[in-house]
Amino acid sequence: MLLPFCVLVFLRLDPSLTAPAFSPEEELGLAPAEPQADLKLATEYLHRFYKLQKDPSGRMRRSGPSFTSKVKDMQTFFGLNSTGELDSGTLEVMRSPRCGVPDVEEYSHIHGTRWNKNVIAYSIGRYTRDLPSSTVDFLIESAFGVWAKASGLTFVRSHTHNTDIMVEFVTYAHGDFYPFDGPRGTLAHAFGPGSGAGGDTHFDDDEHWTAGGAAGFNLFVVAAHEFGHALGLKHSRNPESLMYPTYKISRTSNLLSREDVHSINALYSKQLYSKQPQFPHLMQDKCAPDLTFDAVTFLGDATIFVRDRYLWMKHKELSDIKEGPITNFLPKIETGIDAAFWIPRRSTAYLIHGKPRTLSYFGFPPWVQDVDATVHIEKTGRTLFFLQDTYWSYNENRKIMDFGYPKYISEDFPGINSTINAAFYKNSFIYFFMGPQVLKFDYTLKQVVGVEMANSWLGC
């Protein structure tokens, strides 16, 4: 059974207590607490996070050597004065919302793992009721972007359940043996990298999620912390670290400390990205004069070029090109990719590969079993599908095919007179990959304005 990587919780003695400073809603007020309530809080806290063994009789003992030792462990972790006493500073930390991973446990046998790839797919299942879905999409993408910028990892939005990291807003028992507990309790949890539930991240929808402001919990900050765990990171003792156990809302920019950046790069070393695939017989000559592509599209901050079951990946800020079998980058795609397109405003890549039902999603008639190429036109919100000498226009806002299609390609794209292998939209131009050539088409002027070789896109 996979253990959750992170569970953000409130541990409170009494509903009358004011919320801790950690809360975006109120400032911390340490209300006087009865000694027995303090002891109950500390016992539960140390049992949950510091492996304090419960007394078989069920009694709580403040004076036992084990209890005192665990208090000292907790105080040491948080940089407190290690007295073993339940002083006000210690109780303040114990009352603060925090992650549910034990602080003193060696994580290596549960965590410390990583995804053995540099392209990680995520999907958003059930949404929160507190924010528009488009806002949630943006905040989740931004939280992944925090780690992408620091590590070079690429995160790709998927619309299937067959994905690496599933993000969902749920309540109470939700199928993973770690139920949420209603308002102002557990905030979220995440599982470490792995198959099955590995990487999955859940948020308690009984909390009030916000995009910022005075009330509620900032989804961007919580998500960024949780995704650190979903990538395999542990907790930090550094209060400036995003991976510090207690949730902070002090800033929403420059979330990562130097330690966080070092940790993610140590886990995903550069060797992961520079390692050549161990399939020499599958290596392709990218500078071959007859090179053609089946699909070309953005994929996060990278551009991918696909031929058969082989893929080249070119990052915007890197000069080198990663290449290898598609499964090296996208293990769950076992076939070639026939067509692909990227929708920037949703940070979503659609990869069409050998499954007719994929096309039925867009409203194609049953007789359309495949397409030659696809391209998304950002300024019109349309996705164009090309098949032989015709094309369709799909309205991404209304989720329907535009009326009057298919139309002939030659009528609306003069100069494009042969089969299109792949298409790519950039800066108001459509680049039509046709055999070993690429025709640069001005979408505003409706004319071909340039011709180049396909392999020039790979630096040849």
Q: What are the catalytic residues? A: 226
Q: Could you tell me the end-to-end alpha-carbon distance of the chain, in angstroms, rounded to an integer?
A: 49
The annotation status of 55 as a binding-site residue, yes or no, is no
Own/partner pairs, 28-31, CB within 8 angstroms, 24+ separation: 28/92, 28/95, 28/96, 30/88, 30/91, 30/92, 30/95
The annotation status of 243 as a binding-site residue, yes or no, is yes
The annotation status of 21 as a binding-site residue, yes or no, is no
Q: Are strands 407-408 and 209-210 parallel, antiparallel or unpaired?
A: unpaired
The token pair at 58 is 């069920």
The annotation status of 285 as a binding-site residue, yes or no, is no
Contact in structure between 327 and 333 (CB atoms under 8 Å): yes
DSSP 89: H
Can you tell me the distance from the alpha carbon of 145 to that of 272, in angstroms, rounded to the nearest whole number?
19
The annotation status of 372 as a binding-site residue, yes or no, is no
Q: In terms of residues, how long is the chain?
A: 460
Contact in structure between 139 and 219 (CB atoms under 8 Å): yes
The annotation status of 235 as a binding-site residue, yes or no, is yes
Cα separation values, 160 from 190, 242, 256, 400, Å:
19, 29, 30, 19
Q: Dihedral angle at the C-alpha atoms of 320, 322, 323, 324, nearest 10 degrees?
A: 150
The annotation status of 315 as a binding-site residue, yes or no, is no
Alpha helices in 78-194 (DSSP H): 88-95, 133-151
The annotation status of 38 as a binding-site residue, yes or no, is no
The annotation status of 202 as a binding-site residue, yes or no, is yes
Can you tell me the distance from the alpha carbon of 123 to that of 162, in angstroms, rounded to the nearest whole number?
9
What stretch of H or E contains 139?
Answer: helix 133-151
The annotation status of 137 as a binding-site residue, yes or no, is no
The annotation status of 338 as a binding-site residue, yes or no, is yes
The token pair at 165 is 């990291």
The annotation status of 260 as a binding-site residue, yes or no, is no
Q: Give 367's contacts (C-beta < 8 A, 6+ positions apart).
A: none
The annotation status of 442 as a binding-site residue, yes or no, is no
The annotation status of 434 as a binding-site residue, yes or no, is no
The token pair at 375 is 């391209």
The annotation status of 370 as a binding-site residue, yes or no, is no
The annotation status of 130 as a binding-site residue, yes or no, is yes
Binding residues for Ca(2+): 130, 164, 181-182, 198, 200, 204-205, 207, 294, 338, 340
Binding residues for Zn(2+): 99, 174, 176, 189, 202, 225, 229, 235, 243
Binding residues: 99, 130, 164, 174, 176, 181-182, 189, 198, 200, 202, 204-205, 207, 225, 229, 235, 243, 294, 338, 340
